[in-house]
Amino acid sequence: MTDWELDRAGLERSDTERLESALDQPETDFIVQWRGRVLVSDSQASIETGSGALVDAASEIVWLGKLTRAGATRDCFVLDVSALDEPKQALGLQGTFADLRLLGDLPTAQFGLLAYARGMLAWHENHPFCARCGARTRPKKAGHTRVCPEGHEHFPRTDPAVMILITRGDRCLIARQPGFPQGMFSALAGFVEPGESLEDTVRREALEEVGLAVHNQRYFRSQAWPFPASLMLGFVVDCEHEAYSLDDDELEEARWVSRAELLAPAGFFTPPPSSLAHHLLGAFARGDV
């Protein structure tokens, strides 16, 4: 159940008649979300097949595209059943509603699909009214736009953010925010501001958060992070010295660690595999970046 492939099929989002019909088909796949949590079972995404009760209970429905799994391709929707106080009991669901950020063992393809689903529902929840005229909006194009009575159309937005691993030789700087689980350290991160390049953001955030001037930027890779709507872009950078100063509003602690300490952490731990930071720190620890 790990070999999944999603075709977003954007050109089909306007085929309202076919997609409404797909909601009633017994072979249609549904991802179920409740109050920001997704339904999972045995460390796997839980996919429900066609169910009128699910559709009737949903306060929001978004067509995600065509999902191929177990050799079959089916329409795939995400449903929000947050209006129910006890959705598992009311709908006969098996599994657990879990915070996607804590599901570190999910296969990459499943995490990507659930991140897509989570991000789309978060956008609908946060944009019920038109930002131009204030009127209530309604979904259109299978849930991928919202339109007000005046015809103003609104689209999901993604907020780019950089993740920065500052290094010097075989050591890197890790830090923790006050909201992190106790003992967890990660790379630095910050949002891109209007009119700013990614490279400028990396330099600014490193200087603001830890007082270090960085250079020799190397792009690592990116990851969707829909909490609620970010795209994380990872960078590795160098610095000339290790004397840092913390931004007390952002960070509560930082420390320099060696590659060996990252491979066998003692007294701290790093983010789970669902996070870009996990892979960025792991690549540095192995000497791959």
46-61 per-position pLDDT tens digit? 999 877 899 999 999 9
Type of residue found at 88 = K
- Pick 224 or 102 by higher pLDDT: 224
Angle CA 45–15–137, to nearest 5: 80
Q: Are residues 213 and 103 in the same domain?
A: no
Q: Are residues 184 and 83 in the same domain?
A: no
- Pick 5 or 1 by higher pLDDT: 5
Which tokens is 116 given? 């897509």
In a domain, 227, yes or no: yes
Q: Are residues 163 and 273 in the same domain?
A: yes
Q: What contacts 24+ positions apart, CB below 8 Å, involve 83-90? A: 83/57, 83/59, 84/34, 84/57, 87/32, 87/34, 87/57, 90/57
Q: Are residues 11 and 104 in the same domain?
A: yes
Counting the structural domains of the chain, the total is: 2
**Mode of pairing for the β-strands spanning 37-41 and 138-140:** unpaired
Q: What is the pLDDT of residues 252-281, one digit of tens each?
A: 999 999 999 999 999 999 998 889 999 999
Q: Are residues 109 and 170 in the same domain?
A: no
Q: Are residues 30 and 99 in the same domain?
A: yes
In a domain, 147, yes or no: no
Average pLDDT value for residue range 99-122: 89
pLDDT of residue 1: 40
Q: What is the pLDDT of residues 236-260, one digit of tens each?
A: 999 999 999 998 788 999 999 999 9
CATH number of the domain where residue 25 is located: 3.90.79
In a domain, 132, yes or no: no
pLDDT of residue 137: 97
Q: Are residues 80 and 163 in the same domain?
A: no
In a domain, 149, yes or no: no
Q: Are 254 and 175 in contact (CB under 8 A)?
A: yes
Distance (Å, rounded) from C-alpha 201 to C-alpha 244? Answer: 18
CATH number of the domain where residue 173 is located: 3.90.79.10
In a domain, 146, yes or no: no
In a domain, 96, yes or no: yes
Residue 226: CB atoms within 10 A of its CB come to 21
Distance (Å, rounded) from C-alpha 95 to C-alpha 38? Answer: 10
C-alpha to C-alpha distances, 14 to 118, 125, 275, nearest whole angstrom: 21, 21, 34
Average pLDDT value for residue range 21-27: 94
Q: Are residues 22 and 102 in the same domain?
A: yes
* Domain stops at, among 73, 104, 126: 126
Distance (Å, rounded) from C-alpha 217 to C-alpha 234? Answer: 10
Q: Are residues 182 and 232 in the same domain?
A: yes
* Domain stops at, among 126, 146, 170: 126
State the average pLDDT for the chain: 94
Q: Are 244 and 164 in contact (CB under 8 A)?
A: no
Residue 147 confidence (pLDDT) above 80: yes
Average pLDDT value for residue range 108-126: 93
Q: What is the pLDDT of residues 152-194, one digit of tens each?
A: 999 999 999 999 999 999 999 999 999 999 999 999 999 999 9
How large is the C-alpha radius of gyration of the chain? 21
Q: Are residues 35 and 107 in the same domain?
A: yes
Q: Are residues 14 and 80 in the same domain?
A: yes
Domain that holds residue 81: 5-126
In a domain, 133, yes or no: no
* Domain stops at, among 126, 147, 167: 126
Q: What strands, in cross-sheet order, belong to the sheet with 153-154? A: 138-140, 145-147, 153-154
pTM of the model: 0.88
Q: Are residues 114 and 13 in the same domain?
A: yes
In a domain, 194, yes or no: yes
Which tokens is 261 given? 């300490």
